[in-house]
Homo-oligomer: A and B are copies of this chain.
Amino acid sequence: MRPTKRDELVQKALTVFYQNGFHATGMDTLVKQTGISKTSMYKHFRTKEELILAALRLRDEKFRNWLCRRMEELADTPKDQLVAMFDALDEWFKEPGYKGCMFVKASSEYQDASHPIHMQCADHKRLLERHITGLAEKAGISDPGQIARRLLLLKEGAIVTSHLGLADNPAGEAKLAAIDLLQAAAR
Contact = CB atoms under 8 A, between A and B. Distances in A.
A109 B111 contact: no
Contact of A121 (B23, B126, B150, B164): B164
Task: Bin the interface of chain A by size.
Answer: 35 or more
Contacts of A111: 19-21, 99-100, 105, 163
Nearest to A168: B149
Contacts of A160: 104, 156-157, 160
A170 B150 CA distance: 9
Contact of A161 (B100, B109, B146, B156): B156
Interface of A: 19-21, 23-24, 99-100, 104-105, 107-109, 111, 113, 118, 121-122, 125-126, 129, 146, 149-150, 152-158, 160-161, 163-167, 170, 173-174, 177, 180-181, 183-185
